[in-house]
A = this chain, B = another copy of it.
Amino acid sequence: MDEKIFHELISPAHTKIVLMIMDGLGGLPLEPGGKTELEAARTPNLDALAAQSILGLTEPVGTGITVESGPGHLAIFGYNAFEHRIGRGVLEAVGVGIDLEPSDIAIRGNYATVDAAGVVTDRRAGRICNDISKELSKLLSTCIGDIEFQVETVREHRLAIVMRGPGMSASVTSSDPLKNGYAPLAIRPLAPEAEKTANAINQFIERSCRVMESYTPRPPANMLLLRGIDHYPDFPLFPDLFGVRAAAIAIYPTYRGIAKLVGMQVLQVEGNTFVDEFQTLEKHWNDFDFFYLHIKDTDLAGEDGDFDRKVKIIETVDQLMPRLLALHPDVLIVGGDHSTPALLKGHSWHPVPTLIYSNCVRADNIAEFGERACSRGSLGVVPAKSIMPLALANAGRIMKWGG
């Protein structure tokens, strides 16, 4: 594990690091020869910062690989995202704000529809409306023996289910056939110690079906499909690994959850915009020496295919930069967890523009923050996990290595 060498060399210092992640920051031009969202945005503050920074592009886990938020964030947090995985069930659970305990098992679920023969006709139960979904989830939460099942609607048919109780193991199969036209599968244990867990889940599914059947009016859902059955991830904790008192500032539960899983202290944000996040940063500036600041809106605009909105959001963030710089961070990283080009309406594999500013960075003297500007930077195209070591080095927090 690469992280370990840094852990050994960590030395304390009175320096502050800010890692500002604009989710899905990287983009693409809408037309050949055009500008990306970031290039099209008027960003005088980020451009001025770029002039005093090293520039480059980050790849979350590997060339050509498009990542979900989980590994994208783990990578930019300095982890080898291939070695350290957050299961989909866990990500779903933390995404709805469930406070997971290490012995919990988390499951990603769907409300689905099966026909009289028990064959899945709609894996999404007609995208069941949120109200009914939430009502059902309340009714489905129950205990099977000494195992408690907490069911939470993510949205529409999507569920996060958490199992809490003694003697469990996540070594079980899924029930989701992943396609319409097939019957759900019974959950099977993959190891002797998982027998209790598999039995409990099967009983829970049976009970859930009965509850849905007796619900009035008859809901479009009459089956649960479960997959991503995971235990709590066992990560080396970020504050230990890198010797920082780390705070996370994020409005969205998923990112609050990931930050918590790696051991950051998740701060309460008053309000629900990224402007409020900047205020939270100011408020807690003296309490921590590392801040992860997450801006979700860039990704949402990209997912919606809304190039202009993504440009506007970047411009608004740019206008907030003087507030951040007024705090005089010793090291400031501006980057992203992955690209989300409006052109593709989704995450993509394209490397993510990144700048690292400090007073001892060997600046590239490129006064522009954009994909092509960053590709001329001295950082090059680097694995996202190499950003934290560089940040720590620039913060005077890594001792000399002697061999």
- Chain A residues with a Cβ under 8 A of chain B: 2, 5-6, 9, 26, 28-29, 32-33, 36, 51-52, 57, 61-68, 70-71, 74, 81-82, 85-88, 91, 341, 343-344, 346-351, 359-360, 362-365, 371-372, 375-382, 386, 389-393, 398-403
Docked pose: A343 CA to B361 CA in angstroms: 11
Residues of B within 8 A of A91 (CB): 402-403
Q: How far is the CB of A354 from chain B (nearest CB, A)?
A: 13
Q: How far is the CB of A19 from chain B (nearest CB, A)?
A: 14
Q: How far is the CB of A69 from chain B (nearest CB, A)?
A: 9
Docked pose: A402 CA to B85 CA in angstroms: 9
Query: What are 15 A-B contacts with C-beta separation under 8 Å?
Result: A32-B363, A33-B52, A62-B389, A65-B401, A88-B402, A88-B403, A91-B403, A347-B400, A348-B393, A349-B390, A349-B398, A371-B378, A372-B378, A375-B378, A379-B381
Contact of A63 among B362, B372, B390, B400 (CB under 8 A): B390
Q: How far is the CB of A118 from chain B (nearest CB, A)?
A: 29
Contact of A362 among B28, B64, B389 (CB under 8 A): B28
A66 touches B360 (CB 8 A): no
> 3 smallest A-B Cβ distances: which pairs?
A64-B389, A375-B378, A64-B393
For A397, give the chain B residue with the smallest CB separation.
B64
Q: How far is the CB of A310 from chain B (nearest CB, A)?
A: 15
Residues of B within 8 A of A365 (CB): 33, 372
Residues of B within 8 A of A86 (CB): 403
Q: How far is the CB of A52 from chain B (nearest CB, A)?
A: 5
B403 touches A63 (CB 8 A): no
Query: Among the interface residues A66, A359, A399, which one has the most CB atoms of the partner chain B within 10 A?
Result: A66
Contact of A401 among B66, B371, B377, B389 (CB under 8 A): B66
Docked pose: A240 CA to B6 CA in angstroms: 33
Count this chain's copies in the assembly. 2
Docked pose: A372 CA to B402 CA in angstroms: 27
B66 touches A390 (CB 8 A): no
Contact of A351 among B57, B64, B378 (CB under 8 A): B378
Q: How far is the CB of A14 from chain B (nearest CB, A)?
A: 17
Docked pose: A30 CA to B364 CA in angstroms: 15
B401 touches A61 (CB 8 A): yes
For A81, give the chain B residue with the smallest CB separation.
B403
Docked pose: A226 CA to B185 CA in angstroms: 59
A350 touches B363 (CB 8 A): no
A360 touches B343 (CB 8 A): yes
Contact of A382 among B28, B51, B63, B68 (CB under 8 A): B63
Docked pose: A67 CA to B377 CA in angstroms: 24
Q: How far is the CB of A367 from chain B (nearest CB, A)?
A: 10
Residues of B within 8 A of A371 (CB): 362, 378
Docked pose: A341 CA to B62 CA in angstroms: 31
Docked pose: A220 CA to B153 CA in angstroms: 74
Docked pose: A87 CA to B393 CA in angstroms: 23
Docked pose: A350 CA to B390 CA in angstroms: 9
A32 touches B57 (CB 8 A): no
A398 touches B64 (CB 8 A): yes
Query: Among the interface residues A26, A64, A68, which one has the most CB atoms of the partner chain B within 10 A?
Result: A64
